[in-house]
Structure 1
Amino acid sequence: MHERPPSERLQRQALAQIAESKRMVLAVRHALAQRQPATVLITSAAPHEGKSLLGASLASAAVSMGEERILVMDLNWYRPALHQFFGRDLLHTSDEIATRPLADVIDSGGEGEPDRLLAPTDHDQVAGSALNGPAVARRLITSARELYDTIFIDTASVFPTNRMMMDPVMLASMVDGVMMVIQSRSTARQQAKRAYKTIELSGANIIGAVLNHSESLGRA
């Protein structure tokens, strides 16, 4: 049996990932009963489990499926990463994001891309301040509901608990649904269960979990 060339394998893998992302978008729509506007928060038990990648993938997939008003927000100001997946520089200061109309601080997507709210340029200086608290998050999410049909929100992990960032447990109470990312063969089962319970006890609507780096991209 001839082994497929690397380029063909990568292409097939990319197509499979796109198809899986679209399937997850459909699962999210179903879980939220086609609600619009819909806000979906993405978190995990521990850092580096693929939250930003999932948020970027779902938002991009939603646009490719014909949805026009899609926004993906980076509210993990302690460790922002979303801008890297779109090859974008950070554009606005924390004061601008906290006080200006949302439309003025959005990074507009090109053809086939979602709009983005990226972390502030001075994110390393505002962690833990009033500009990184629930009032700012609530204003941004409320404003996003007025402008977009679906909003995916990239946040920090549940653990380790660190009040120097926008707490995902606090944010979970502001959204319609929560998705959890679990890194296959990395995150301890007990830690994942503890994070799930912590989010659940906040009264949030957990709509699914995605197993990252498994044979399949995940199950939403």
Structure 2
Amino acid sequence: MNIARMARWGGWMASLLLSLGCVGIAPVLRGALLSLETAPVYAEAASIDEATLRRSIARLERRLAARRPAGAYLVVSTTENHFWLYVGGRLIREGRCSTGSYVYLKGSGGRSWLFQTPRGQFFVQSKIVNPVWHKPDWAFVEEGKPIPPPGSPERYEYGVLGRYALAIGNGYLIHGTLYQRLLGLPVTHGCVRLGDADLEVVYRTLPLGAPVYIY
């Protein structure tokens, strides 16, 4: 590896630690982090000898490895609409997903919603078979329908979230979809949608408490 490439890799890894500081997921964050120019510690890489660069990169790799979860975890890119499923740092499945559309919806009374997928570190809080969608107010606003009272039968919709769902907090789910042709596109209201086969593997692999990293 020449010095320029080593500097780029070192700056990339430094950016990973600065930006996330939590997991060793470098293989799937390609191009998503700061460039060499935004990692000042490596900005003068041309004047640094190769041995120094190798030591710096090895140190960063050790820090990443120390923070990698020992068990299963999921990584989701909201820019690429892609997911990676790991067990003990080993990639066992990856594929397309769909995340938030960033559509802005305005309702009456000054209410509004921005459909974005949250970013950060989350954990699987519950696992559900045959989930039922409890439709929030925005779903009726979006359809141009009157908002029913809480607990109304109109609030419950069956068969639209796929066979499984994993809750990661604040009402956000990893679930299936009827619109699998749209996987890979940012079309959701904030949840992460997976195809049927991918969803089953993710559901069976991730235990309760498993980390989910969304960036």
TM-score range, shorter chain: under 0.3
Q: TM-score, normalised by structure 2?
A: 0.27
Q: Which of the two has higher C-alpha Rg?
A: 2
Higher relative contact order (CA 8 A, sep 6+): 1
Structure richer in strand, relative to its length: 2
TM-score using structure 1 length: 0.26
